[in-house]
Structure 1
Amino acid sequence: MIRIVVEGMDFTGKTTVCRHLAEYLDQQGTTVVRSTTSLTGGPIPALIEAAYRIPHLPDPVRSALFHLAYLPDLAARPTPPGGHNPAGQQVWLQESYVCRVWAHDLARRQTVLARFAARLAPTLHRRVDLAVLLHSPHEVRHDRYLRTGAPNLRDDRRFGPDADHHRRVEEHLTRLAQGFGYHLIGTSEQPPHESAAQIAALLAELAPRHP
């Protein structure tokens, strides 16, 4: 099974690009398993949202909750629905990963948690076959957020009083992702299906090494 991580700041288009990629791979006869760990599945996102509604919760506690998102991956053994698919390729597709959590720690100078992520990141990335970083400038992502019509406290702060912090997070994320060999794909101008096609092309180059 090939494991793909699609990383990026919020509103770079990760979810939409992953949906297009999954649809394309499904049409090609590839079994796609969407991850239920990390920051986009399972109980962790709801737990994080609840934590943001608790007044005066210390930043280190909030940060620690994010680390809970990727720890299950250390023990996870992905299995596609219905078991092995000998007739086609199998892909484990995951949005976001340890670098994003690590970048937030660095931006907030949470040195203990950043060191924790730094120790685990190499082990986690050895499980990843293809890693992609989607990129859009802060201003473009802000415009996308405004167009959603679904405001929330975290995103209001992300593009308001915490904007400088999130710019620092993006700088750290880009540097960390480059260090682990992520492929950079810009999403500010091209539609999501074209970004998905770029990932599919990278996967096609990788697939012969994963029978």
Structure 2
Amino acid sequence: MTRAVFYTATTLNGFLADDHDSLDWLFAAPGGEGGDDDFQQFLAGMGVLVQGSSTYRWVLEHEDLVAHPEKWPGYYGDRPTWVFTSREQPVVPGVDIRFASGDVREAWPEIRAAAGDRDVWIVGGGDLAGQFADAGLLDEIRVSVAPATLRSGKPLMPRDLGADRLKLTAVRKAGAFAELTYTLKGARE
């Protein structure tokens, strides 16, 4: 069964990005650039990526991907990527990017089919992951807690998910980060 996994990094006080959607705080943390063996193993199991428009725009602009599309595989490989957005977005030339809007349930059958026998990585942001949780489609939250705090920013998961829905299944030290993995009870069977 194809699973939907929200795998992200957060500050110690629960922010994914600053108020301007920047991830600079993450890349300033030791090991924040990712790429360790565990992440590579995780990525190998992903058949599709799903992003919100703010995440997509930040990576696009931060790496100047429209001008340098050859950098995209270094981030995500050749996996199809869905970007949920309510506005027109630039396209990275030669990359399989599909734009969607509205209810995530409507796009799920096509996303699941494209993933084949692999899983779906909900890259970010928190509200998009929350929409998958609301729809009963989010199976796992895997969060790396960084040695950083922000005064304000974009919250990890702007939803109420209590202990009745979350089950801690793994804890791992990854350099300066603490990685927590939760499964969601009540996700589709």
Q: TM-score, normalised by structure 1?
A: 0.39
TM-score by length of 2: 0.42
Bigger fraction of residues in helix: 1
Q: Which has the higher strand share?
A: 2
Q: In terms of Rg, which structure is larger?
A: 1
